[in-house]
């Protein structure tokens, strides 16, 4: 993997993120707050650190060096990224990400344990016929969801606040002000992207609307870190790689959509049937619904958005995606976007940085199934 070459940098980013959260946990006497920060640290472990690397290599593109200041500053976008993932998992009620339990899943278990709910009493029929017995289960489920969601929102807010602290601790005041302005704009647009995702969840959308949503949810998490890297390098034009970031991120998301349906869970770290069962507006689904004919569209719609769909029905939906040409379309589209992204990399930047951005573009659509 091309990222192996940058392991020393990503290790430094990871160490700094651990340091930030461990110091927070250590500074609190309250065991609840200590545990809270340690739980955030659990879900933040690992990751490829792609977004911090883009900030670092945007800086190097002009300065021709990588120093400790830019490595520390780059941790800011990783904190924002994780803030968005924690909230996204809570909104989607996901329990697994990258092969590990999500933050809301951890706190759902903590709440259930804290109230001492005993499922064993429901092993016999006499418990089920008691007045309000079912209502008790429904109320418990509602409380678990509310509690775990609330804690996820708070964890997301905390990570964003920490991201601003990190970004505001390096470089000159003028550069920090410009960087923070971009950072805050990124967070606003990220929330707007999440809003678009939720409001279009049950509505049929077209390819143009899909990309508009992706630009706000995925694209800006690459575009703004690159901008900030250029700002800290004191480049005249800090928006020079916007087109690269958006096209690369679009390809990144299309490939993610493909992995989410055709990838193996041991490689992706998440279920490969959830996108179909939840009726997620992926480009695969959009093009399938656009291309499918009569009987195939009926079969696909029966499974798409059906959380109770069987493995056989999901496999049939996969076959329809390929039969219609939607799969082939998405594979072709991601390659076209990567070509456009690479062609938009400035010619006059540091050689190693140019190579990094070219390799990153190739990497995002080569992640294995």
Residues 6+ apart with CB under 8 A from 184: 164
Alpha-carbon torsion 85, 89, 92, 96, what sign? positive
The tally of CA atoms less than 13 A away on the side-chain side of residue 359 is: 16
Q: For residue 47, count CB atoms less than 10 angstroms from its CB and return exposed for 0-12, middle for 13-18, buried for 19 or more.
A: middle
pLDDT value for 86: 95
Helix, strand or coil, per DSSP, at residue 271: coil
CA gyration radius, the chain: 22
Mean pLDDT computed over every residue of the chain: 93
Assess whether pLDDT exceeds 90 at residue 201: no
pLDDT in tens, 250-283: 999 999 999 999 998 877 777 889 999 999 999 9
Is 346 or 204 the better-scoring residue by pLDDT? Answer: 346
Q: What is the pLDDT of residue 257?
A: 94
Mapping DSSP to helix (H, G, I), strand (E, B) and coil, where does residue 13 land? helix
Is residue 20 within 8 Å of 166, Cβ to Cβ? yes
The pair of structure tokens assigned to 1 is 């993997």
What residues contact residue 230 under an 8 Å CB cut-off, 6+ apart?
Answer: 58, 59, 61, 62, 237, 238, 239, 240, 241
Q: Give the tokens for residue 57.
A: 């290599």
Within a 13 Å sphere around the CA of 31, how many CA atoms are in the beta-carbon half?
0
Residue-level pLDDT at 178: 98
Identify the CA nearest to 336 among candidates 367, 365, 369, 368. Answer: 365
Residues 40-75 have pLDDT tens digits of 998 987 789 999 999 999 999 999 999 999 999 999
Two tokens, residue 166: 């990190």
241-369 shares the fold of 1-240: yes
How many Å apart are CA 143 and CA 29, to the nearest integer?
28
Q: Where do the domains of the chain lie?
A: 1-240, 241-369
Mean pLDDT of 141-145: 91
Task: Specify the residue for token string 């798409």.
Answer: 304
pLDDT score, position 344: 97
Three-class SS state of 101? strand
Count Cβ atoms below 10 Å from residue 36 Cβ, excluding itself.
20
User: For residue 100, which phi and psi values (nearest 5 degrees)?
Assistant: -125, 160
pLDDT band at 27 (very low <50, low <70, confident <90, very high): confident
| pLDDT at 265 (0 to 100) | 82
Q: Of 334 and 369, which is predicted with more confidence?
A: 334
What is the model's pLDDT at position 317?
Answer: 96
**What does the buried/exposed string (b/e) look like for 94-113 if buried means 16 or more CB atoms within 10 Å of the residue's CB?**
bbebeeebbbbbbbbeebbe
Q: What's the topology of domain 1-240?
A: Farnesyl Diphosphate Synthase (1.10.600)
pLDDT of residue 115: 85
Q: In the prediction, which pLDDT does 264 show?
A: 87
Q: Using a cut of 0.85, tell me whether the model's pTM lies above it.
A: yes
Lowest mean per-residue pLDDT among 27-41, 179-193, 206-220, 329-343: 27-41
Task: Note the CATH number of domain 241-369.
Answer: 1.10.600.10
């Amino acid at each position: 993997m091309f990222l192996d070459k940058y392991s020393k940098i990503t290790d430094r980013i990871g160490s700094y993120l651990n340091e930030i959260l461990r110091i927070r946990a250590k500074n609190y006497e309250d065991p609840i707050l200590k545990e809270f920060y340690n739980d955030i640290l659990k879900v933040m472990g690992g990751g490829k650190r792609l977004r911090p690397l883009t900030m670092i290599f945007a800086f190097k593109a002009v300065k021709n060096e990588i120093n400790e200041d830019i490595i520390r500053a780059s941790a800011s976008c990783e904190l924002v990224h994780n803030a968005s993932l924690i909230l996204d998992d809570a909104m989607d009620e996901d329990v697994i990400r990258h092969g590990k339990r999500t933050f809301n899943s951890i706190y759902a278990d903590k709440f259930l344990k804290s109230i001492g709910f005993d499922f064993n009493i429901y092993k016999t029929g006499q418990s089920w016929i008691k007045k309000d017995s079912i209502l008790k289960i429904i109320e418990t489920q509602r409380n678990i969801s509310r509690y775990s969601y609330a804690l996820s929102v708070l964890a997301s807010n905390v990570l964003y606040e920490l991201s601003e602290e990190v970004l505001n601790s390096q470089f000159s005041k003028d550069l920090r002000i410009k960087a923070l302005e971009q950072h805050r704009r990124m967070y606003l647009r990220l929330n707007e992207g999440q809003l678009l995702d939720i409001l279009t969840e049950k509505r049929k959308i077209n390819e143009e609307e899909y990309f508009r949503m992706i630009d706000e949810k995925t694209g800006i998490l690459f575009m703004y870190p690159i901008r900030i890297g250029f700002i800290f390098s004191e480049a005249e034009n800090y928006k020079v790689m916007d087109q690269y970031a958006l096209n690369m991120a679009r390809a990144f998301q299309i490939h993610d959509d493909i992995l989410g349906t055709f990838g193996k869970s041991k490689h992706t770290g998440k279920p490969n049937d959830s996108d179909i069962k939840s009726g997620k507006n992926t480009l695969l689904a959009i093009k399938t619904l656009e291309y499918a004919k009569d009987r195939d569209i009926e079969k696909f719609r029966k499974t798409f958005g059906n959380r109770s769909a069987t493995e056989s029905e999901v496999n049939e939906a996969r076959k329809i995606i390929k039969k219609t040409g939607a799969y082939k379309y998405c594979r072709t589209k991601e390659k076209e976007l990567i070509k456009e992204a690479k062609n938009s990399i400035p010619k006059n930047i540091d050689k190693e940085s140019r190579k990094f951005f070219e390799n990153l573009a190739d990497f995002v659509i080569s992640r294995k199934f």
